[in-house]
């Protein structure tokens, strides 16, 4: 049996089929025994010095922090996703996505989830603020542009959110 391969603009060439068929050099009818690995970064030469500097840590995303707070509160109360989602009147998969930081929740959804956990929206936001401060303490070694202004003007330790 002979099969043909047709390339655009080329004539038909028969391909060898069966045992003992002659294949071009380097081509085999057997599947490769090892996967071909293509490096994504060029390998550094040994002794060429230290590797690249690690990327600076990024500030946490709001949705990740709020999700972590929601999950921690739910687990501290030993409640299931289904229980909290039912009480908040949101779907269980959506609550799961919120907790994993996959979705940005509206203020109404955050308030409903907080109420289902026995918290007010302000309580949830305060817990998230504390978590952000804790996480960014090691991230930001340089003072932010508003740090001097905050240090001199007011002792207010609140958070302002805009949607």
pLDDT in tens, 118-148: 999 999 999 999 999 998 886 555 555 555 4
Mutual angle of helices 62-76 and 92-99, in 10-degree steps: 120
Distance in angstroms (rounded) separating the CA atoms of residues 125 and 32: 56
125-160 exposure pattern, b = at least 16 Cβ within 10 A, e = fewer: bbbbbebbeebeeeeeeeeeeeeeeeeeeeeeeeee
pLDDT score recorded for residue 59: 84
pLDDT-based confidence at residue 108 (cuts at 50, 70, 90): very high
Q: What is the CA radius of gyration of the chain?
A: 29
Domains of the chain: 62-137 (1.10.260.40)
pTM of the model: 0.54
pLDDT at residue 26 is higher than 80 = no
The pair of structure tokens assigned to 39 is 């490096």
């Amino acid at each position: 049996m002979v099969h043909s391969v047709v390339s655009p603009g080329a004539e038909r060439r028969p391909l060898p089929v069966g045992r003992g068929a002659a294949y071009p050099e380097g081509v085999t009818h057997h599947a490769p025994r090892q996967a071909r690995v293509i490096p994504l970064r060029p390998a550094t030469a040994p002794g060429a010095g230290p590797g690249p500097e690690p990327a600076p840590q990024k500030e946490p995303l709001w949705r990740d922090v709020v999700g972590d707070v929601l999950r921690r509160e739910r687990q501290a109360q030993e409640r299931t996703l289904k229980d909290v989602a039912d009480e908040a009147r949101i779907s269980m998969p959506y609550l799961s996505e919120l907790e994993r930081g996959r979705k940005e929740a509206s203020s109404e959804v955050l308030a409903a989830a907080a109420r289902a956990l026995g918290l007010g929206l302000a309580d949830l936001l305060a817990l998230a603020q504390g978590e952000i401060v804790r996480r960014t303490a090691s991230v930001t070694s340089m003072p932010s542009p508003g740090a001097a202004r905050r240090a001199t003007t007011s002792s207010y330790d609140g958070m302002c959110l805009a949607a």
